[in-house]
């Protein structure tokens, strides 16, 4: 009897604590559900810095909603007889939901990093072009001709060839960086698709397990009624 009262007292304390935490947690206005977030940002859909920033914000709101729902689920578990099983189920649901929105954040951060690198490369290229233009202006000033020195046309041709080669090399480097960025984005998108598929499969398995538990519970209650 004392053990039973001790258990009930502990459960009541945990219930009151969870209720207090839930009241302290500010409600999230029109926070999107996990399914809505996943549907709004399919793999490879983030194609601008603005959409990447919005995706990160949406994931943050979804995480807050997941934590709020997890707290509510735990609070609802304490009055139940099988409290531990209920708490485990709530924790697993939180883990699956967090795993579902994580790839969206990864893709958004990846896009932002690549966009910053591309912007930096663009500025460096513009600065290089400005330097080339200044050098070309200085080299166009006539200089006294000395015997056995290249003619002005020879020097100009050599400079143009050097600039053309440098420009071609920069274009090749930029193309290589773009190919690497595309390959990375493709890999991220594939990983997201796989994670979403695993998440949906786990949701189906969880639903089947829940149905099985309810079926067994109904059978036990039926046998008790028959007795």
Report pLDDT digits (tens) over 19-65: 433 333 343 445 678 888 888 888 888 999 898 999 999 999 999 99
In this predicted structure, the answer to whether residue 110 has a pLDDT above a threshold of 80 is: yes
Would you give the distance in Å from CA 136 to the centre of its chain? 47
Is there a contact between 94 and 143 (Cβ–Cβ < 8 Å)?
no
Minimal CA–CA distance to 217: which of 73, 199, 225, 134? 225
**133-178 pLDDT per residue, tens:** 888 777 665 655 555 555 555 557 777 778 878 877 887 788 788 8
Q: Residue 140: its pLDDT value, please?
A: 65
What confidence tier does 15 reach under pLDDT thresholds 50, 70, 90? very low
Among the listed ranges 14-18, 63-67, 78-82, which one has the minimum average pLDDT value? 14-18
This prediction's pTM: 0.45
Tokens of 90: 């709530």
| 171 vs 77: CA distance, rounded Å | 62
Question: Quick one: pLDDT at residue 186?
Answer: 76
pLDDT of residue 183: 78
* Measured distance CA(68)–CA(72) in Å, rounded: 6
Mean pLDDT of 89-106: 91
Calculate the CA 108 to chain-centre distance. Answer: 5
* Mean pLDDT for all residues in the chain: 77
Q: Would the pLDDT of 103 be above 80?
A: yes
As a whole number of angstroms, the distance between CA 207 and CA 201 comes to 10
Q: Cβ contacts of residue 155 below 8 Å, gap of 6+? A: 139
CA nearest to 111, candidates 182, 37, 194:
182
């Amino acid at each position: 009897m004392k053990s039973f009262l001790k258990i009930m007292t502990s459960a009541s304390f945990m219930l009151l604590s969870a209720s207090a935490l839930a009241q302290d947690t500010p409600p999230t206005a029109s926070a999107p559900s996990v399914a809505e977030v996943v549907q709004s940002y399919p793999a490879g859909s983030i194609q601008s810095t603005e959409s990447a920033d919005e995706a990160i914000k949406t994931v943050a709101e979804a995480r807050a909603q997941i934590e709020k729902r997890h707290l509510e689920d735990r609070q609802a578990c304490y009055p139940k007889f099988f409290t531990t099983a209920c708490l485990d189920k709530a924790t697993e649901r939180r883990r699956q939901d967090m795993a579902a929105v994580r790839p969206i954040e990864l893709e958004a951060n990846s896009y932002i990093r690549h966009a910053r690198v591309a912007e930096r490369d663009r500025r460096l290229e513009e600065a290089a072009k400005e330097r080339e233009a200044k050098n070309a202006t200085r080299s166009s000033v006539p200089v006294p001709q000395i015997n056995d020195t290249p003619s002005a046309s020879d020097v100009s041709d050599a400079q143009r060839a050097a600039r053309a080669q440098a420009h071609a090399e920069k274009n090749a480097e930029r193309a290589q960086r773009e190919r690497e960025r595309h390959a990375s984005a493709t890999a991220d998108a594939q990983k997201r698709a796989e994670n979403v598929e695993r998440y949906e499969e786990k949701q189906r398995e969880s639903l089947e397990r829940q149905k099985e538990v309810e079926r067994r519970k109904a059978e036990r209650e039926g046998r008790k009624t028959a007795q």
